[in-house]
Amino acid sequence: MIQAVLPSVAASPCLPANIPYPTLFGAEFLSLEANLVANYSKNVPIGYYVNHGAVNVTDVSFCNVTLSYTHPGQNDKVHVQVWLPTDTWNGRLQAIGGAGWQAGLHPAGLMGMTASIGEGYSTVSTDAGLGSETTPVNWGLLSPGNANLYLLQNLASVSLNDAAVIGKSITSSYYGQPPKYSYFNGCSQGGRQGLMLAQRYPDAFDGIAAAAPAINWNQFFVEDMYPSFLMDSLGAYPPSCEFNAITAAAIKACDAADGVVDGIITDEEACDFDPMSLVGTVINCTNFGAERPISSAAATIIQGAWSGAKKLDNSSIWFGVNKDAVLTGSQTDPAVIPTTCNSNGTCTRTSFELAADWIKLFILKNSSATVSNLTHEEFDRIAHASVQLYESIIGTNDPDLSAFRDRGGKMITYHGTTDSIITPRGSEHYYQAVMQTDPTVRSYYRLFLAPGINHCFGGPGAFPDTTFDAMRAWVEDGVAPDTLAATSVGTTPILKRSLCPYPQRQYYNGTGNSTAGEGFYCK
């Protein structure tokens, strides 16, 4: 953890009268409240403060400034919170991003804000006008057939720059001086927000840590629905035990390609495992507590998830997930292959709601629409409309980062290779596009793949809890990260690894203690 507390910072009393409204073009402020929170303590476990490790916040006092504002003519009401440590400010601002369909002021985001003040940052986050909604069901449509484009635009981009302006202004007013450095920190939705800021608002932040970014939004949500579409097309809904057995076999077949057997596939390109080779293999099915052969339907569906969504003419819609991704759901990830089974041995399909909500509300524009039993022509039309209607609003894949580069910004992204919600191949594809646009990209933006890490967190791999501090050291000290230190969480034994900057991958040379991270190299 990097921390530097300013020797003496005179803070204004935590009173609304002492904190003027910010100047925010295009907005009209409705309220400003300021409340002192004294001697606040909370343990923030690892995984809640994305891109960081765990933080034990002890007896921190801070001023909570809460503002509401509207964009006249849009009938929205956006809430922003800025938390300001009263006597431990380190001279820096850290904005906290969103998760799922939430823009930032969500439970995990509030934990991130708590950890931020514990480390001495002033911190800011926004609800983008969505309130505490965890899905777009209550705001996605103005009426049947009419998507709420203003709130979608708030989520996608507008609220992000608004929060940067507000956070800097309130911080400057409270301490009598602006933050020396301003940073953005997020994963998933928050990762997408970080990329959007670099693309569209390059002056908002000096540094950005953006993990598992939900860029290529319009494509990956359609991809997430593809396994369900295949199940409907086949009229078959295999139990999770069949998919899990195929995934385990793929890991066993391809694990050693990087030089060490650790239950993790590092080089996906070297893994050519064929799921059809397991059809008929009898497994002990945990869903029913009985033996069961792996079906051709299960092999076909998982091959589709790996290969990616295809149009009727077999051309690609989007990339698939890696072969070691957990597709049937886990403690941290919802199921991209969503089935539920009865004790009598019959299984049915449930729904992957994150993607289903996107399609129903924003593509079909009908909250009562069904996304089951689509024809292939209907699926293709949905995929096309998703890009056609919303790419410029929330696609977040513009490869031109020249303005961010020229202002001196630095950005680090990591993406877990076992992410089943947002395929890491999308991040690779984006980084390749940036490299083609600007061969100097490594001087300001680096992507690290995290083998064995699920969506944002979890999995058997090593978690890069050093991401934010590496980004900060790059901004403040000019130290570019050639590798990213990572440590597994909750595994036995604990694994240490140095993650490699894309397009390099991690290999073991056969010498040293691989568990401790010895003997690994990048190529």
Strand-pair partners of 446? 412
pLDDT of residue 478: 98
Average of per-residue pLDDT across 254-281: 94
Q: Which two tokens stand for residue 54?
A: 């765990």
Average of per-residue pLDDT across 125-139: 96
Length of the chain counted residue by residue:
523
Catalytically active residues are: 188, 419, 455
Look at residue 1 and tell me whether its pLDDT is greater than 60: no
Question: Which residues contact residue 512 at a Cβ distance below 8 angstroms, ignoring those fewer than 6 apart?
Answer: 518, 519
Look at residue 6 and tell me whether its pLDDT is greater than 90: no
**DSSP string of 146-173, one letter each residue:** EE-HHHHHIIIIIHHHHHHHHHHHHHHH
Q: What is the pLDDT of residues 390-439, one digit of tens each?
A: 999 999 999 999 999 999 999 999 999 999 999 999 999 999 999 999 99
Question: What CATH code is assigned to 180-216+395-523?
Answer: 3.40.50
Q: Any idea what DSSP says for residue 316? A: B
pLDDT of residue 46: 96
Rounded CA Rg of the chain:
23
Q: Give Dmax over CA atoms of the chain in angstroms.
A: 73
Q: What is the pLDDT of residues 201-238, one digit of tens each?
A: 999 999 999 999 999 999 999 999 999 999 999 999 99
Distance CA 391, CA 324 (A): 29
Average of per-residue pLDDT across 459-476: 98
At 7, the pLDDT band (50, 70, 90 cuts) reads: very low
pLDDT of residue 345: 80
Query: pTM higher than 0.75 for the full model?
Result: yes
Question: Which residues contact residue 342 at a Cβ distance below 8 angstroms, ignoring those fewer than 6 apart?
Answer: none
Q: What is the mean pLDDT of the chain?
A: 95
Look at residue 332 and tell me whether its pLDDT is greater than 50: no
Average of per-residue pLDDT across 299-307: 98
Phi, psi of 286 (to 5 degrees): -70, -20
pLDDT of residue 440: 98
Strands (E), 177-305: 181-187, 207-211, 282-285, 290-293
Q: Any idea what DSSP says for residue 359? A: I
Average of per-residue pLDDT across 106-115: 96
Look at residue 5 and tell me whether its pLDDT is greater than 80: no
Other Cβ atoms within 10 Å of 289 Cβ, number: 8
Distance CA 507, CA 523 (A): 8
pLDDT of residue 3: 56
CA dihedral (182, 199, 355, 211) positive or negative:
negative
The letter for the amino acid at 273 is F
Q: Which two tokens stand for residue 387?
A: 């890009």
- Find tokens 């295009």 and name the residue: 26
Look at residue 66 and tell me whether its pLDDT is greater than 60: yes
Nearest to 125 by CA among 104, 101, 94: 104
Look at residue 375 and tell me whether its pLDDT is greater than 70: yes
Look at residue 450 and tell me whether its pLDDT is greater than 70: yes
pLDDT of residue 331: 40
Is 462:487 a contact under the CB 8 Å cutoff?
Answer: yes
pLDDT of residue 10: 66
Average of per-residue pLDDT across 67-76: 97
Domain boundaries, the chain: 1-139, 180-216+395-523, 219-390
pLDDT of residue 225: 97
Strand-pair partners of 292? 283
What Cα–Cα distance (Å) separates residue 105 from each residue in 102, 143, 386, 515?
7, 26, 27, 38
Is 326:333 a contact under the CB 8 Å cutoff?
Answer: yes
